[in-house]
Amino acid sequence: MLESLDQVLADATDRLTRAARDRASPMHVPVVGTGDGDLRMMVLRECSEGITRLRFHTDARSPKAQLIGSGGPVSVLAFDPAEKIQLRLRGTGRIEVHGPSADAAWTAASEFARRCYLAEAAPGTASDVATSGLPPEVEGIRPTAPQLLPARDNFAVLLIEPHSLDWLHLAHNGHRRAKFTRGGDGGWQGSWVVP
């Protein structure tokens, strides 16, 4: 059992940092919500030091990218069922199609990850048949660099700057919960709350 707010914040930081690096982490694919109440699971790609920023990849043509734009409300929910730890974050998201974060993320992505952004229509577009949306010549294969060139225009990153963090530990002998908000100095201020 964690006894101090500093320990709780360190635990949340460690969990999110590990989740971004380890696809076996239970928090690797949290639920991300947008201001319209829509929810989806997304792969956490990066958690910066001090949980100042979270990074996810998305299609620039997606409805969530249009909704968030250069600054929209976003929430993140992650859960570790074995440890019974829940993290809820709220913050401001922004979509970056071109720029240092998007360019670095594109460069670091594998060919298979980049292939997702070759879809011929935007995510959510209606179809008469079950489809990946990918052109037939790249479905099921590792595309070549020339084949991937058009995908770059559809690739974007969702950057979230969290302003609140809610940590909950479910335990049979009594749950524990802490809430943190980001202060004017950029640091986190926390308090214990009744679960």
Q: Tell if the pTM clears 0.85, that is, is over it.
A: yes
* Residue-wise pLDDT tens digits, 106-155: 999 999 999 999 999 999 999 999 999 999 999 989 999 999 999 999 99
Those residues whose C-beta lies under 8 Å from the C-beta of residue 7, and which sit 6 or more positions away, are none
CATH fold of the domain at 5-101+155-163+172-190: Pnp Oxidase; Chain A (2.30.110)
What does the domain layout of the chain look like in residue ranges? Answer: 5-101+155-163+172-190
